[in-house]
Amino acid sequence: MAHSRSRETKAPPDQVWKIWSDTSTWAKWNPDVLSVALDGPFASGTTGEMRTKAGGTHRIRLEGVEADHRFRLETAVLPASKFAFQCEVVPVGRGSRISQAIAIGGPLGPVFSVMMGERIASSFVPLLDGLANYAEANASG
């Protein structure tokens, strides 16, 4: 079961993607991220490390990267579980819709999903707002 949030922005999809795929910007617009360091390009299979205010440092892996459209960030935050954050941008009118979802897998995934899935999804609202505002403010005319 995935839990998700989305919002629309005036920023075009390519501008949103430019920011989302540049992990050096994440700490500027995502209120929970302190830093992200990838071990390679923003592409499927690339691993790295993310430091967050709430959860410390976690190893991450990118999967399902479709340039200008979507990617999945996978990490193991709790024992016997895998957190998969699906991030997507699609064109809507003159702007775009940005979405983020979480699916919690692994042996304890269903339990953690019921316990905290919606609470985690609620935390996507400020980060999607931050991404939208940052993309709008940094739109290359």
Query: CATH no. for residue 91?
Result: 3.30.530.20
Q: Is the pLDDT of residue 8 over 70?
A: yes
Question: How long is the chain?
Answer: 141
Give the domain range for residue 108.
Answer: 2-137
10-19, 28-37, 52-61: least confidently modelled range? 52-61
* Residue that has been written with the tokens 């005319």 in this structure: 141
Mean pLDDT of 68-93: 94
Q: In whole angstroms, how far apart are CA 92 and each of 12, 13, 64, 96, 134?
A: 8, 9, 22, 5, 18
Beta bridge partners of 111: none
Q: How far is CA 2 from CA 21, 58, 87, 112, 118, in A?
A: 22, 21, 12, 12, 9
Q: How confident is the model at residue 140 (pLDDT cuts 50, 70, 90)?
A: low
What does the pLDDT read at residue 1? 66
Q: How many other C-beta atoms can be found within 10 angstroms of the C-beta atom of residue 64?
A: 15
**Element containing residue 127 per DSSP (H, E):** helix 124-137
pLDDT digits (tens, 9 = 90+) for 19-49: 999 999 999 999 999 999 999 999 999 999 9
Q: How many domains does the chain have?
A: 1
d(CA 101, CA 88): 9
- Under the banding of pLDDT at 50, 70 and 90, the label for residue 77 is confident
> Using 50, 70 and 90 to split pLDDT, how confident is the model at 102?
very high
